[in-house]
Chains A and B, each alone.
Chain A
């Protein structure tokens, strides 16, 4: 069978066997959580509580003040210990609420009966519930979901894609969800489709997850949702690449999927939508894959938002090996290195990857030998070796002319480079500098 895919890209070693057959386990209830008031792309939330207040599990503690933002909720019941700026796994510091738990657990699945059938909801009502539940894109970028499913009236949307690619090495949280909770995911997907008002749905899954394909296919048979099997290739799960592979449409430079009539959401998001509608449960928990050669017992855990990386890692046997290690929020291709294990799991934490020993990249950089490898793998057809130099040297006009802002930061170029040149890092420098300059 000829599998659908996009042009270029890479085939890294995925190492998914560490966790792909491990059932999702419930993590231990944390004694303390740190909940950042901005866990998404958009404006930070306004705190609704103050030091010393008692909070319930699922209580809204940060209010969305503009459209592009999402409220945050307390993931445990307890008392607000403090509100201060603390390290955030996405980098930098963010105003965060520290909550000390009292050990009480709320049973969500029994707490309400509403939402048994979709018929009673209007699209507006669904969007409101999704917004109030604080749901954001759970693939990693954490873009508020209610914004994605509210396309402006002049955009004609005709296709909905559920992203089940999970092309990042090591990560298996979406994979496990599709295997274990396929029904709920499809239900969540139908909800999202109703909220946008479209009939045509596709679920894109890479062919290295045959059990997930089978599980989802069984449920979507005889419906208007089609499972599309895709070639296992990185970055298959990048929105633009996924749309190209499934619908053969190219999102123009600087435009969004909705400009070609498509809305894309992640498998994890669909699951969160299911819980929000069925149980009225806000996004306070997520599946996190804990993996990498630096972890003793790799696992897929259902973790409460706000649990520290250290707590999570301790439940996986802790970190192996002495010496150097790198702890990532996410997978090795796009994840962000952490400076401390105190950082909390947030809505966008799809995995915690610990690399150690030989897996940590060397610091030595050799000259470019113009092998053209980066040009060959770039999924958006850039010339990374050139952009890297232009970005590094702040030659910003040229950087822009050579398409620097088109970069989707997938990292294929750096991965491929035999000289170990940090091409993506330099391109990021260029992007930041161009944006700074344009703001002035």
Chain B
């Protein structure tokens, strides 16, 4: 990809020394933007969610995040070294995968299993496809799906937040997540608890507001398109509302759908993943509307209490197709002279 060639100006021995002129194709002037800058902003945006997880689950949260991130970085480094590719471990993208994966795990999840999931996410989910930009599925979600299949019990054993149990003087109390309570016992959790996060669940999924702060920061930096997170949440709320209106005693209300489980984290940090979401406006709408619909259907009728992960992974698979078949109309296309 040599785009620069250097040309010597004609000889002018009596004048100045020969100048070095750069010759390249226009534009000669680029936006001050690059992959590490974007990825580091995403890491920054994940800080509130990480802080919330540490607040609610204390040391376990710190441990899981460190293990996952370190494994992701190490796997990326090993792969790039073996494939003799430039080492881009510090561009932030592998760190994001590690953080996101850690945030989707239950706080009591064993470290070795978290490491295994992280290694899978980077090795199979990203590097085998060719590294950054080439993966089809969101690596963190793929790692999470892998852990779900490998450790079905561990990935669904939840505990109450330590902030809650500490008062009672016990170490850890196992508990069901709001979605499981809803699905298997028909119990609802209050919206306030869901919003601020004082609930059982995956580490980063418990506090909706922490995720929202990060998401809004990314929007402020214009790294995400409104369409994606709001479309996804809106679609979940819309289809959730339909079922709620059919039978309010059996199905949860729409607000519960978007506040519970992985909806917030998924909408703001996984649906918006640049590599695995469509680039065309129409494709993006289809992606989020179908994704939200799938998530609600899996939650209400599937065998699992949570559907966000599979809804996004399934829609990831359609992205190349969506990009291909939703090309915007060219300027002046089909116009009459």
Contacts and interface: CB of A to CB of B under 8 A. Distances in A.
Contacts of A406: 330-333
Given A169-B29, A332-B27, A338-B21, A422 B332 contact: no
Given A382-B330, A420-B30, A372 B274 contact: yes
Interface stretch (B1-9, B156-164, B207-215, B253-261): B1-9
B14 interface: no
A381 B331 contact: yes
Task: Using C-beta atoms within 8 Å of the partner chain, give the interface range for chain A.
Answer: 35 or more
A338 to B, nearest CB: 7
Given A367-B131, A375-B279, A379-B331, A424 B29 contact: no
Contact of A251 (B27, B30, B332, B334): B332
Contact of A418 (B26, B33, B323, B337): B33
Contact of B34 (A328, A360, A420): A420
B26 A336 contact: yes
Contacts of B4: 363
B332 A418 contact: no
A380 B25 CA distance: 20
Contacts of B335: 250-253, 255
B133 interface: yes
A327 B21 contact: yes
A373 to B, nearest CB: 8
B31 A12 contact: yes
B13 to A, nearest CB: 14
Contacts of A370: 133, 274-275, 277, 279
Contacts of B30: 361, 414-415, 417, 420
B132 A369 contact: yes
Interface residues of B, number: 49
B332 A252 contact: yes
Given A367-B132, A369-B275, A418-B35, A340 B9 contact: yes
Contacts of A338: 21, 23
Interface string A309-332: 000000000010001111110001
A340 B10 contact: yes
Contacts of A415: 27, 29-31
A98 to B, nearest CB: 14
A375 B280 CA distance: 7
Given A240-B332, A253-B332, A340-B10, A416 B31 contact: yes
B330 A253 contact: yes
Interface in B318-337: 323, 327-337
Nearest to B30: A361
B95 to A, nearest CB: 15
A366 B34 contact: yes
Nearest to A367: B133
A37 interface: no
Interface in A408-432: 409, 411, 414-420, 422, 424-425, 428
A403 B33 CA distance: 27
Nearest to A369: B133
Interface in A331-389: 332-342, 353, 355, 359-361, 363, 365-372, 375-376, 379-383, 385-386
B134 interface: yes
Contacts of A367: 130-134
A337 to B, nearest CB: 4
A196 to B, nearest CB: 18
Contacts of B333: 252-253, 381, 403, 406
B38 A337 contact: no
A419 B35 contact: yes
A75 B137 CA distance: 63
A260 interface: yes
B38 A380 contact: no
A337 B336 CA distance: 38
B185 interface: no
B280 A383 contact: yes
Given A250-B332, A255-B337, A365-B3, A402 B327 contact: yes
B29 A383 contact: no
Contact of B7 (A253, A324, A339, A381): A339
A259 interface: yes
B329 A424 contact: no
B21 A337 contact: yes
Most chain A beta-carbon neighbours within 10 Å: one of B22, B27, B277, B278: B27
Interface in A242-272: 244, 250-253, 255, 259-260
Interface in B190-207: none
A334 B279 contact: no
Contacts of A376: 225
A355 B280 contact: no
A403 B22 CA distance: 31
Contacts of A169: 29
Contact of B331 (A368, A380, A385): A380
Interface in A383-399: 383, 385-386
B28 interface: yes
Given A380-B331, A380-B332, 8 more contacts: A326-B28, A332-B29, A340-B9, A369-B274, A372-B280, A406-B333, A424-B26, A428-B25
27 contacts: A12-B29, A169-B29, A252-B333, A253-B330, A325-B19, A328-B28, A333-B29, A338-B23, A340-B10, A341-B21, A363-B2, A365-B1, A366-B34, A368-B133, A369-B35, A369-B132, A370-B277, A370-B279, A380-B332, A383-B279, A383-B328, A406-B332, A411-B26, A414-B27, A416-B31, A416-B33, A418-B38
**List of 6 A-B pairs having minimum Cβ-Cβ separation, nearest first:** A372-B279, A411-B27, A332-B29, A367-B133, A252-B335, A380-B331
Interface of B: 1-4, 7, 9-10, 19-31, 33-35, 37-38, 130-134, 225, 274-275, 277-280, 323, 327-337
